Chains A and B, each alone.
Chain A
Amino acid sequence: NTVMTQSPTSMFTSVGDRVTISCKASQNVGINVAWYQQETGQSPKRLINWASNRDTGVPDRFTGSGSGTDFTLTISNMQAEDPAIYYCLQHKSYPLTFGSGTKLEIK
């Protein structure tokens, strides 16, 4: 199975901060990676697909990058509405696997 190691587990940020979340795959997954935002009590919402393509309506402060085994989600200018848990997903090989999540909170 492809393990997606996500870091950090949690972090406190401030409005206006640049935030970087990492996912490392245990084997090459190409660009078959998506990023999701899950707010409390809600289902996950996809932000990024194919590693770097922003979904329709997602603010451009969210950027995905990477290929192969190393992937990054960057929030360039943290906003008050961005606290949530963020997950990565690899859909290159079965079983599809998620990262363990990064909880972002505002200080």
Chain B
Amino acid sequence: QVQLKETGPGLVQPTQTLSITCTVSGFSLTSYYMQWVRQTPGKGLEWMGFIRSGGSTEYNSEFKSRLSISRDTSKNQVFLKMNSLKTEDTGVYYCARDSAMGYWGQGVMVTVSS
């Protein structure tokens, strides 16, 4: 069955870089878009960006200058990296599958604090 699971650091200091991995099973990354969405107290659910089945990416301009999405198809993993973190980046980060987000991971809580 389709499964997605995010893993990440939990706590990140301001100005540092966030790295989260989404490990998937039950399908191939070369067949589906993979999305990143976050949920913060200030802005609710926000689409961050995606990587297409072919490997190209699309980003929300709100994050474009500091966000990178990539993948390793051999390991069934998708990666989110975001730099210059601020306290308002605190929230839950999700990966989701396909353009209409039919499957979601459990999410990983990220706290940005010194």
Query: Which residues of A are interface residues toward B (Cβ below 8 A)?
Result: 32, 34, 36, 43-46, 49-50, 55, 87, 89, 91, 94-98, 100-101
Q: Which residues of B contact A98 (CB under 8 A)?
A: 44-47
Query: Which residues of B are interface residues toward A (Cβ below 8 A)?
Result: 35, 44-47, 58, 60-62, 94, 99-107
CA distance A105 to B36 in the complex (A): 29
User: What's the minimum C-beta distance from A1 to chain B, rounded to whole angstroms?
Assistant: 9
User: What's the minimum C-beta distance from B53 to chain A, rounded to whole angstroms?
Assistant: 15
Q: Which residues of A contact B44 (CB under 8 A)?
A: 98, 100-101
Judging by beta carbons under 8 Å apart, are B104 and A44 in contact?
yes
Q: Which residues of B contact A101 (CB under 8 A)?
A: 44-45
Assess A95 versus B60: contact at CB under 8 Å? Given A43-B94, A100-B44: yes
CA distance A101 to B100 in the complex (A): 17
15 A–B contacts from the bound complex (CB under 8 Å): A34-B101, A36-B101, A43-B105, A43-B107, A46-B100, A46-B103, A49-B100, A50-B100, A95-B47, A97-B47, A98-B44, A98-B45, A98-B47, A100-B44, A101-B44
User: What's the minimum C-beta distance from B91 to chain A, rounded to whole angstroms?
Assistant: 13
